[in-house]
Chain A
Amino acid sequence: MTPPHTPFRTFILKVANRCNIDCDYCYVFNSKDQAWRALPARMSVDVARAAARRIAEHLSAYEIKTVHIVLHGGEPLLAGPRHMKELLHTLHKAVPPGTETHFELQTNGTLLSEAWLDLFEQYAVTVGVSLDGPPAANDRHRLTHSSRSSSASAVRGIELLRSRPQLFAGLLAVVDLANDPVEVHDYLASFEPPTIDFGLPHATHDDPPHRNDPASPEYGMWMSRVYDAWLDRSEHRHSVRMLEDIAALSSGVRSSVETLGLAPPASIVIESDGSIEGIDTLRSVQEGASRLGLDVFSESFDAAVHHTKLQHRQHGRDALAEQCQRCPLLAVCGGGYLPHRFSAAHGYRNASVYCADLEHLILHVQDSLRRHGWSLRHSALSPPPGHTAPRERALETTSSQNDRRTR
């Protein structure tokens, strides 16, 4: 049976398509897809107006009462405050009356100023900042174009943001095994963000993640230590999104961050030229993987909802590799993040390159929850007959690939 199509509730606008720093892992600028080179440096008001009209049309058609509009990049602050104000005004006035609108922005934090915060206050824009940890950890990847540290300017921006806590959405970090997970977590927590989240480095079966020991679920172990550090201090009031989502999904919650769970993605990307993309991080997979061939001037978002490239996102477990469909952790893991499942040989019908890591982490969290009196809806106390443990499967796949890895 064909499942009902999921409308979009989150619209990610690439308001700037350049960046003032040069993170070596960036899926926009330093990945296989170099589409950014042909895209406008910033989104024009004409594009924003067309996007706003399409968003309004979509919200009305599906009777959506709450919408998230994410100002994203590149570095969105490169759009400049005056231009950003025009974009926000255009978007704000197009949203149908009675709609609860959440404006959100993700930045490297280095360009934040009082003027920016005044603007964000005016439009109630909440701000997330990307930071990988203390300066030594952050500087492994997040350097400027002249190879200088970006840490001090990012921290200055975060401190400024803390002066208006209602605007502070949280901190987003990318995992690097070379960094100490407790040190990274505690450093990020010291800024008292409402939310911290960690992303696993983008990788595919053809280009697997770096591991020191291919036989060990090192990323799962790293995140498990973050979990322990999070629980370790009673004063920690922040959420760690990935970990809290594991707890939530294990308890029967269906919605989560798109890296976990089986819920269909409800977000769509509008590029700075008005083109519509599916998951923007698919740029890390291969040239053109995220492109749909649609734009806001010619098509409604319905064309994207029904686009063949996004159909597999609607099909939950049926779109997953057979081994994932049999896995007792499926409802929590969801097969892992789409880009991390890719191989040229089988497309997205693979277990995640982080399968063993996700298994380790989920079991670690679930074991802790049970010890603290939680009763879990989705757990794996004993695998079903004939089930191959995810750890064995994933490591069988990735250990040989790691041998080939040159990075």
Chain B
Amino acid sequence: MQPHGTALPSSDITTVSAGPTNAEPSTSAPVLDRVAARVRTRLASEETASSSTGDSGHAASLTR
């Protein structure tokens, strides 16, 4: 899955394809495999969301 565009000008971006792209889980970092799964979910969720900029959550509580 490829997420859609970014607000940064292309000159600021050094890598074009984005995201946790490793198809097979890495045996060296299971924690990162779980992070990758959650990041993919967030990317997918934002692709269908109405907001084009995303939202930011409160820092002084555990909410998003």
Which A residues have a C-beta under 8 Å from some C-beta of B? 3, 6, 9-10, 12, 27, 68, 70, 72, 102, 104, 106, 126, 128, 169-172, 195, 197, 199, 230-231, 233-234, 236-237, 239, 241, 244, 247-248, 251-267, 280-281, 316-317, 328, 330-331, 337, 368-369, 372-382, 384
Contacts and interface: CB of A to CB of B under 8 A. Distances in A.
Contact of A195 (B19, B32, B62): B62
Contacts, number: 187
B51 to A, nearest CB: 7
A145 B30 CA distance: 43
Interface of B: 3, 6-8, 11-22, 26, 28-32, 34-36, 38-39, 42-43, 46, 51, 53-64
26 contacts: A3-B53, A6-B51, A70-B63, A104-B61, A126-B62, A170-B62, A171-B62, A172-B60, A252-B19, A253-B3, A253-B42, A258-B56, A267-B57, A316-B7, A328-B14, A331-B6, A331-B7, A368-B32, A374-B19, A374-B21, A375-B17, A377-B17, A378-B18, A379-B13, A379-B15, A382-B14
B55 A6 contact: yes
Contact of B36 (A27, A241, A374): A374
Contacts of A106: 60-62
Contacts of B29: 231, 372
A145 B7 CA distance: 47
Contacts of A251: 3, 18-20, 39, 43
B56 A263 contact: yes
B19 A259 contact: no
Kindly name the residue among B14, B42, B59, B62 whose own CB sees the greatest number of chain A CB atoms within 10 A: B62
B53 A384 contact: no
Nearest to B21: A375
The interface centre, meaning the residue of A171, A197, A234, A254 with most chain B CB atoms within 10 A of its CB, is A254
A157 B64 CA distance: 23
B59 A337 contact: yes
Contact of A376 (B11, B15, B53, B56): B15
Contact of B14 (A10, A248, A257, A381): A381
Contacts of B30: 234
Q: Which 8 A-B pairs have the closest CB atoms?
A: A254-B54, A377-B18, A128-B62, A255-B54, A373-B22, A266-B55, A263-B54, A106-B61
Contacts of B6: 252, 331, 377-378
A372 B26 CA distance: 7
B38 A244 contact: yes
